[in-house]
């Protein structure tokens, strides 16, 4: 692991790191904020998955999580959204919603993407192993959150691995990718036309198929330009009601899809996770 930068913040350390990933076959960059702590102490960890076009840098620069993480004593980890670099296949038309910057937190099975686009394995196996070895984290106390495509990733990973993640939240998530244009393009391109495989990467479908967690927190702006066509939180609300999952869905008036929205409610999410990770 190579340290690219470190900065002091709220008594802790904000770092950016690079390592060679076996999962993606590329170098991957991620950021970690470690709050102030006693020597030898291990801390709960909150994973943040970013949305389309983003890298680790978007939330690191604009997420405004460090004060609340320092107060709560939570390590905050932000990976990239896809493999990148020369030789990594991309959307042939250069679109923003597929290929580099749009890995959708799954392991692709379709050529030419299957070689590098193994973001499920990277986020759930390889990166946690690297972070656990290098930082003072308590892997028995993990939470996960994310925005948009990353909210989709947080929900699907949390629902699939409920024994690992004590807390799951999301900002404006793509809750049912099988039913919306962003998701249909990505799932078809990465996984092919077998819709049974799509269901394993669709939060609403996972709940319909029996996945269960105690509770979820979702914030959604009602001025989000993607709300009606791509995000559709009402589908998650209906699925959770049917499954008796305690969903707190907060519709925030006037907020859009940007980091102005995310940063406004980030502290709420950090505190919500902290309460559950302390139990």
Q: Give percent above pLDDT 90 in the chain.
A: 100
Q: Is 148 a catalytic residue?
A: yes
pLDDT on residue 279: 81
The SS3 assignment for 271 reads helix
pLDDT digits (tens, 9 = 90+) for 255-275: 999 999 999 999 999 999 999
Task: Answer whether 175's CB lies under 8 Å from 235's CB.
Answer: yes
Tell me the C-alpha distance between 84 and 89, whole Å.
Answer: 9
DSSP 31-83: EEEE----TT--EEEEEEE--TT--HHHHHHH---HHHHHHHT-EEEE--SS-
Place of tokens 């993480």: 69
Average the pLDDT over 191-211 and give the result: 97
If you average pLDDT over every residue of the chain, what do you get?
98
Task: Answer whether 43's CB lies under 8 Å from 12's CB.
Answer: no
Q: Is 50 a catalytic residue?
A: no
Order of strands across the sheet with 43-49?
2-9, 12-20, 27-34, 75-78, 43-49, 137-146, 165-171, 215-221, 246-252
Instruction: Given the residues 56, 107, 224, 269, select the one marked as catalytic.
Output: 224
Average the pLDDT over 1-26 and give the result: 98
pLDDT digits (tens, 9 = 90+) for 88-124: 999 999 999 999 999 999 999 999 999 999 999 999 9
Instruction: Given the residues 31, 130, 148, 169, select the one marked as catalytic.
Output: 148
Tokens found for residue 101: 């910057």
Q: Is 68 a catalytic residue?
A: no
| Host H or E run for residue 181 | helix 181-191
Cα–Cα distances (Å) from 161 to 56, 229, 273, in that order, read 23, 28, 16
What are the structural domains, with CATH classification, of the chain?
A: 2-278 (3.40.50.1820)
pLDDT digits (tens, 9 = 90+) for 44-98: 999 999 999 999 999 999 999 999 999 999 999 999 999 999 999 999 999 999 9
Instruction: Given the residues 56, 147, 257, 273, select the one marked as catalytic.
Output: 257
Query: What pTM does this model have?
Result: 0.97
Nearest to 24 by CA among 96, 73, 79, 65: 79
């Amino acid at each position: 692991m190579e340290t690219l930068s470190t900065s002091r913040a709220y008594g802790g350390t904000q770092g950016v790191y690079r390592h060679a990933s076996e999962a993606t076959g590329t170098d991957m960059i991620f950021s970690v904020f470690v709050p102030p702590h006693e020597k030898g102490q291990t801390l709960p960890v909150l994973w943040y998955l970013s949305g389309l076009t983003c890298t680790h840098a978007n939330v690191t620069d604009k997420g405004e999580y460090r004060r609340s993480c320092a107060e709560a004593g939570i390590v905050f980890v932000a990976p990239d959204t896809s493999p990148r670099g020369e030789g990594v296949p991309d959307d042939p038309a250069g679109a923003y919603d597929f290929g580099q910057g749009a890995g959708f937190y799954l392991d692709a099975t379709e050529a030419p993407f299957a070689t590098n686009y193994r973001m499920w394995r990277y986020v759930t196996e390889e990166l946690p192993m690297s972070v656990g070895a290098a930082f003072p984290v308590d892997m028995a106390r993990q939470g996960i959150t994310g925005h948009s495509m990353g909210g989709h990733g947080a929900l699907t990973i949390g629902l699939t691995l409920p024994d690992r993640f004590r807390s799951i939240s999301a900002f404006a998530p793509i809750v049912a990718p099988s039913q919306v244009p962003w998701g249909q393009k990505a799932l078809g391109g990465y996984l092919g036309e077998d819709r049974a495989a799509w269901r394993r990467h669709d939060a609403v479908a996972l709940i319909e198929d029996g996945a269960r967690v105690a509770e979820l927190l979702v914030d959604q702006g009602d001025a989000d330009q993607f709300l009606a066509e791509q995000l559709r939180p009402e589908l998650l609300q209906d699925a959770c009601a049917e499954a008796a999952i305690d969903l707190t869905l907060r519709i925030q008036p006037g907020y859009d899809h940007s980091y102005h929205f995310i940063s406004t409610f980030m502290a709420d999410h950090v505190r919500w996770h902290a309460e559950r990770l302390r139990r």
